Chains A and B, each alone.
Chain A
Amino acid sequence: MAEARESKAQFAEREAEQKLDREALRAIRGGQQDAFAGIVRRHGPPLFRLLARMLRDDHAAEDLLQEVFVKAWRALPRFDATRALHPWLRKIAVNAALDELARRKKRGEMEDAEELLAQIPDSRDTGAELRERELSEAVDAALTTLAPEWAVVFRLRVQEELSYAEIAESLEIPIGSVMSRLSRARAHLASILAEYMGPKEEVDDARRTR
């Protein structure tokens, strides 16, 4: 019941947001350039979170978000105004983030996955308490060791809670590819966590002793 009410509220919120987007697009096409500021205000924060998770760098995410909106502005004449704006902006943001990760890898600026994982406290060695935040950081660090195409599917599914169809639309890939990449990403993540953090039961024991 509570879930139904929440989904209804989310639906209403999404509808209101789309209505504002349509009005802004009409105004922009009517020559009111300032209406684009409203779009940036509405869609900036969620896109920033996504970019910050993918890049693991707030400043880089902020810079990249600026580029995302400028690209969107240039491509706005080609946008189908009958569709929702946010998935279109998210697709631009994801592609921009993947391009940025590829550039980093090419420049050798990628975080060393081994070093990153080595920083994860090993409960077996230290016996220290694993706090929720540390565990989350460990998972996030493990994600960086995945191929970006796999990691982004995992983030969009688990962190952004998108459906397969939405992920497929954002990445412009078939739904079957979404499912395949998601399974491989999870399996790989589980393997990394098991490798560096030991069996889940030990972690659970550590969490319980917090």
Chain B
Amino acid sequence: MHDELDERCTRIRILMAESRERTLLSDEEVERDTHLSECEECRAAASWLELADEMARSAPNPSELSEARLEFLVSAVMDRIGDEAPSRPKRHGWVWAPTFASVAAVAVVAFVLLRSPESTQQMLPPAEPVMEEKLERLGSSYREDSGARDELAEIELTQDRKLNPAGALDKESELRQEGSDGRARVANEPEADAPEANALAAPETVDERVARAPIKRDQAPPTSELSKPEPSTPAPSASTLSAPAEEEAAGKSGRSPEALTTQSPQARGDADELSLADEPSLDDQLPVADEPSLLEALGEKEPQNAASADSLRSRLLTRLESTTVPANRDSLETALEELEMLWPQGPDSD
């Protein structure tokens, strides 16, 4: 029906419909009125425009939603959303949880596999780095301290020269050949002929122990042991003796602490008594020039000429004859030997 309407009729009917929502322009009103006067169908349609709205507005509601139907609707809706609410996240979880889990597992495996060995090593806790570093530092500092080793060698040589002039010459030549590498030198002479030579091997033992320290660090001696008096020192000063040592010596000899300086095992030539615990530390090494001689330790001045040497020799002999303590006798005998080396007694003196 309406398909058969020409464009003009359609336009006028729409214009009439619009007139219910807005005020038409004067031109539009003239156009509408002119067309309605000519077209009977459009006049019939125009009469229904107002009635259609009125009838549509007053049309009875299809049916009201009764209270019972409303409650049924409410319960049905609540049942459905109640079924959905918990299941929604669960469904999502079932869908995504395995995916997330596998992705996370792959990521962890890839992270571990692709990580460089260096960085993996960094992840591991260091194997006691502090102690390793400490011991390494201790060993290297000692090994690198060539000056200290040279000093030690000089001390040894001086002591040898005093105690065993012939052996000292050999050792001095060896020392010159080996240069300042005291460690190698000591390693080449582990066994000495004289008992004093065993005492001189103490620094070597310290060196070896320090070199061994990283391997068996638990055996490293405590600092107190390393700082004990120099075994090769002929007469350590009283200040180098620790108080317990002095008391111990006093208890043995019954002398005053000042006199105890003569009771050191070195002065007695009792080098065999030296143990590893008697190893001196480098700090305790005294320069040769500063070493007090055995004579000074005994309270005697070093003789400056043959006459004073003879006088001193006679005094020492007198003291030797008067003492009965073996340790004192040993010291006096050693001092006499030292004096003999410095000022040999002439044939006429006998």
Contact = CB atoms under 8 A, between A and B. Distances in A.
Interface stretch (A10-18, A44-52, A88-96, A100-108): A44-52
A197 interface: yes
A49 to B, nearest CB: 5
Given A136-B60, A139-B52, A41 B70 contact: yes
B59 to A, nearest CB: 4
Interface in B53-76: 53, 55-65, 69-70, 73-74, 76
Secondary structure of the B contact surface, majority rule: helix
Interface in B101-147: none
A36 B65 contact: no
Contacts of B62: 49, 52-53, 56, 58, 61
Interface residues of A, number: 58
Contact of A73 (B15, B20, B81): B81
A7 interface: no
A34 B53 CA distance: 41
Nearest to A45: B65
B278 to A, nearest CB: 83
Given A33-B82, A58-B63, A136-B59, A66 B47 contact: no
B198 to A, nearest CB: 91
A48 to B, nearest CB: 4
B45 A194 contact: yes
A179 B77 contact: no
Interface of B: 1-2, 5, 10, 13-18, 20-21, 41, 43-49, 51-53, 55-65, 69-70, 73-74, 76-78, 80-82, 84-85
Given A36-B77, A70-B80, A182-B21, A136 B58 contact: yes
A183 B47 contact: no
Contacts of B5: 191
Contacts of A140: 56, 59
Contact of B78 (A36, A161, A190, A195): A36
Contacts of A56: 62
Interface stretch (A19-27, A79-87, A152-160): A152-160
A179 B73 CA distance: 35
Interface of A: 33-34, 36-37, 40-41, 44-45, 48-49, 52-53, 56, 58, 61-62, 65-66, 69-70, 73-74, 132-133, 135-140, 142-143, 154-155, 158-159, 161, 179, 182-195, 197-201, 203
Given A48-B65, A190-B45, A197-B48, A139 B17 contact: no
Name which of B18, B46, B62 has the most chain A CB atoms within 10 A of its CB: B62
22 contacts: A33-B78, A33-B82, A44-B73, A45-B64, A45-B70, A48-B65, A49-B62, A49-B65, A52-B61, A62-B69, A70-B81, A132-B58, A158-B53, A158-B56, A183-B18, A186-B52, A187-B16, A187-B49, A193-B45, A193-B52, A194-B47, A201-B47
